[in-house]
Structure 1
Amino acid sequence: MSAAAGTVHGVGLGPGSADLMSVRADRLVRGARHIAYFRKAGKAGQARRIVEGMLRADVVEFPMDYPVTTEIPLDDPRYAATLAAFYEDCATHLRALAQGGEDVVVLAEGDPFFYGSFMHLHTRLSPHVPVRVVPGIPGMAAAWAASGEPITWGDDVLTVAPATLPEAELARRIADTDALVVMKIGQNLDRLKRAVAAAGKTAVLVEYAAMPEQRVRPLDAVERAPYFSIALIHGAGRRP
């Protein structure tokens, strides 16, 4: 790495409200000359929305538009190939900025190292330029706060699982744990509902945690899960 290289900062913005950002994240975002963020093509993007009104007047923005979201199945080799090329292009641009001495802030919803796209940039950038990560409050923490109940008690084991798992595997993990957080629900809602029922448990769905649209409902009463949805099964372990 060049001694004169700038730093790429992966900055966790938290679950969706600017006042849940860390002091460090706030400082970096407000001072950034270059910011980058992922978004769906044609949309402003949640990360960019969170920092609205915080950016300096001369900021240079680099929106990174996903080439695919649900258009290609996850298990289709084209999906991985398309995203790999996309991440490589994004990393090339950010690497050039850093190697030219510029610091760059990459905005990341939640925490950068928790089911986030920033990790794909990190693996491509860290061998070449300095990369620093600012942790953020993950969406699941905002979700269980919104539910009004502790997620774990005493010796409860907490499992975090994506709803993209095969249904039988998802049901097994639900049955084998005390408390559960389920991410990546979307089109997998019906699969998740069946898996929860098969495990003999009940769950709640938290939509838009920490955002103005926040809503908490029993999972079995939900017919559609928005992108920002997290399912919870609360633990009921040892208590004094």
Structure 2
Amino acid sequence: MSGTLYLIGTGPGDPELLTLKAARVLSALDGVAYPQKPGATSQSLTIAETHLSESVEHFAFDVPMAVDRGPAQAAYDQMAEHLAPKLAAGQDIGYLCEGDPLFYGSAMYLLHRLPDAQIEIIPGITSLTAAAAEIKRPLAARNERLKVLPAPMESTALEAELVASEAVALIKIGRHFDRVRHALNKTGHGESAMVVEHATRDTQKITKLADYPQGERPYFSIILSYKGDEAWGS
């Protein structure tokens, strides 16, 4: 294939957090591909669109968000089949991915599906670092362990990981929020935990876990908690 597939991290939401390299590459693309929930606008496109040329060709792919991974995997199969001839014809295509392409990013699903493609990966700012910046608190310090824990983990395993951690970031919260809050409080992480929703976007909301209303659910959120002994600032 003579064209290049760029896997581009668009960052957490604020368009100004797109990297200079990403902006340069976006402006010169022949085509741009992006996943979106059926019936919804792609957030990664919203972040990147001001850097795209008017002539760029758009390839939007509906990717179902469901527990059953089959439909989503089929969508990535379709995406790869559609992009392969474009790349073979010499077109440079950008694939947009919120945050960083390879930090729980959907770009990973194209890597093995296009083995003959020339691929360049452009890292992006993650929700993890963006949320820490917004609450103005370090993620961890010195020799402390920072763990990134997906909320869908089984409760016993989640609590075991929390017990052995000074600092944690919980992602993919959604419908698991009540169970995650219980685990954080049980292991002593709840007191310092902060819920950051829509980090860096106009809709951003920051709430102490202890103050989060019962019965409500945070969306597009991450929870950061610190339970270490480091005296920051000294």
Structure 1 and Structure 2 fold alike (TM over 0.5): yes
Q: Choose from 78, 103, 108 the match for 1:114.
A: 103
What is aligned with 1:95?
84
The amino acid across from 1:215 in the alignment is K
Q: Which residue of 1 aligns with 2:52?
A: 55
1:235 Cα offset (Å): 4.9
For residues 41-79 of structure 1, what are the alpha-carbon distances to aligned partners after superposition, in whole Å with 9 as ceiling and x for unaligned?
11111101102322211111001111x213xxx2xxxx2
Distance, in Å, in 1 between the alignment partners of 2:129 and 2:32 is 26
* Matched positions, count: 227
CA contact (8 A) 2:169 2:222 kept: yes
Equivalent residue, structure 2, for 1:231:
223
The alpha-carbon deviation at position 153 of structure 1 amounts to 1.9
- 2:65 counterpart (69, 77, 81): 69
Match of 1:34 in 2: 31
2:78 is aligned with what amino acid? D
Distance 2:144 2:50 in 1: 41
Does the residue aligned with 2:73 lie in a helix, a strand or coil?
helix
Task: For residue 216 of structure 1, give the secondary structure of its aligned residue in structure 2.
Answer: strand
Contact preservation (8 Å) 1:39, 1:64: yes
Which amino acid is 1:217 matched to? T
1:16 aligned to 2:4?
Answer: no
Give yes or no for the alignment of 1:206 onto 2:203: no
1:86 alignment partner in structure 2: 75
- Give the structure 2 partner of residue 133 of structure 1: 121
Aligned equivalents of 2:70 and 2:136: distance in 1? 42
Q: Distance in 1 between matches of 2:230 and 2:221?
A: 28
Query: How many Å apart are 1:204 and its aligned residue?
Result: 1.0
Q: Aligned residues: percent identity?
A: 32
Task: State whether residues 6 and 100 of structure 1, in contact with CA within 8 Å, keep that contact through their aligned partners in structure 2.
Answer: yes
Q: Provide the alpha-carbon RMSD of the alignment.
A: 1.3
- The unaligned stretches of length 5 or more in structure 2 are none
Q: 2:182 aligns with which of 194, 203, 222?
A: 194
1:14–1:109: 8 Å Cα contact kept in structure 2?
Answer: yes
Of 151, 158, 167, the match for 2:146? 158
List structure 1 segments (4+ residues) > 4 angstroms apart after TM superposition.
none
Q: Normalization by structure 2: what TM-score?
A: 0.92
SS at 1:51's partner residue?
helix
Report the CA distance between 1:225 and its aligned residue: 1.1
